[in-house]
């Protein structure tokens, strides 16, 4: 039906590909220093994590959810969504929905992204400290979404991020990331997102027991592609979704073009 995107290349644009190898090394050093209690005064006062209640979707449900909200795609000058499609980038909720419409919110996300790229050691020292504070506050019983708007393979770059929360989860358009998550020892749940171009990948992931997020125009159907559909708008706790392969149905929001290939009309 469509071409599977097992290794979708980065689309050509003006955004730079981050030096993830260097950033990963800084994350590891920062974690060792944090773990051994080596003193460090963080130069940035603004918090990195979006706390429970500050994001409408993350606030739904009874489990506290903290999120790392960076600037999506190439908005910051760095490309954080290498597996994106042109349609999802054009309709990105990080640009059109909710508080994302405000310039100060966009600027804050760009500033956090540049902080990560320009000062990764400081970024991770602060991030580990904020995650520890959340863990102490909630006695480990909280969730962490590391890619609220980005699609960074943190499980390879900074797996230490998943040492703090009871539940860790994300959405991704990377078929490889999603499949690997089914067999990883990390407590990291990934939902594969339908892009309009990765139908085969989605079917294979469903058959392997994973869940797939699909955007629908209008009411959600009871079943799609032969599997049950659950309402993903009720909350963002994807780690509590049924296992065994189901569709996480999401209603089209923001400025999404209903004729876009990733929006399904039933």
Confidence of residue 7 (pLDDT cuts 50, 70, 90): very low
As to burial, measured by CB atoms within 10 angstroms (0-12 exposed, 13-18 middle, 19+ buried), residue 195 is buried
213 in a structural domain: yes
Closest by alpha carbon to 262, among 90, 73, 97, 72?
A: 90
What are the counts of helices (DSSP H) followed by strands (DSSP E) for the chain?
Answer: 9, 10
- The distance of Cα 68 from the centroid of its chain, to the nearest Å, equals 8
131 in a structural domain: yes
**Sign, CA torsion 198/203/209/213:** positive
246 has pLDDT over 90 = yes
Mean pLDDT of the 154-170 span: 96
Q: Is the pTM of this model over 0.85?
A: yes
13 in a structural domain: no
243 in a structural domain: yes
pLDDT of residue 78: 94
Mean pLDDT of the 78-91 span: 84
Task: Check: CB of residue 149 under 8 Å from CB of residue 79.
Answer: no
pLDDT digits (tens, 9 = 90+) for 181-211: 998 777 899 999 999 999 999 999 999 999 9
Closest by alpha carbon to 205, among 220, 227, 222?
A: 227
187 in a structural domain: yes
Q: Can you tell me whether residue 253 is helix, strand or coil? A: coil
Q: How many domains does the chain have?
A: 1
Q: Which domain holds residue 156?
A: 20-265
Which helix (H) or strand (E) is 180 found in, with range?
A: helix 175-181
pLDDT digits (tens, 9 = 90+) for 23-78: 999 999 999 999 999 999 887 778 999 999 887 878 888 899 999 999 998 899 99
156 in a structural domain: yes
**d(Cα 97, Cα 215) in Å, to the nearest integer?**
15
173 in a structural domain: yes
204 in a structural domain: yes
pLDDT of residue 59: 82
Please tell me what DSSP assigns to residue 244.
S
19 has pLDDT over 90 = yes
Task: Check: CB of residue 76 under 8 Å from CB of residue 38.
Answer: no
């Amino acid at each position: 039906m469509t071409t599977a995107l097992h290794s979708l290349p980065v689309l050509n644009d003006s955004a730079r590909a981050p030096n993830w190898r260097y950033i990963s090394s800084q994350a590891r050093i920062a974690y060792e220093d944090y773990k051994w209690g080596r003193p460090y005064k963080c130069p940035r006062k603004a918090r990195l994590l979006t706390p429970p209640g500050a994001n409408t979707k993350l606030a739904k449900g009874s489990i506290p959810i903290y999120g790392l909200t960076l600037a999506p795609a190439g908005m910051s000058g760095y490309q954080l969504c290498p597996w994106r499609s042109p349609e999802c980038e054009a309709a990105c909720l990080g640009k059109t929905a909710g508080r994302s419409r405000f310039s100060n919110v966009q600027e804050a996300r760009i500033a956090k992204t540049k902080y990560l790229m320009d000062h990764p050691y400081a970024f991770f020292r602060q991030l580990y400290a904020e995650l520890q504070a959340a863990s102490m506050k909630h006695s480990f019983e909280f969730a962490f979404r590391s890619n609220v708007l980005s699609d960074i393979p943190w499980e390879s770059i900074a797996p230490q991020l998943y040492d703090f929360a009871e539940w860790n989860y994300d959405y991704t358009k990377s078929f490889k990331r999603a499949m690997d998550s089914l067999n990883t020892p990390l407590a990291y749940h990934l939902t594969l997102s339908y892009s309009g171009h990765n139908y085969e990948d989605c079917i294979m992931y469903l058959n392997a027991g994973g869940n797939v997020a699909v955007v629908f125009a209008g009411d959600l159907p009871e079943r799609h592609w032969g599997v049950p559909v659950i309402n993903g708008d009720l909350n963002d706790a994807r780690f509590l979704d049924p296992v065994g392969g189901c569709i996480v149905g999401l209603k089209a929001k923001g400025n999404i073009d209903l004729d876009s290939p990733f929006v399904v009309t039933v």
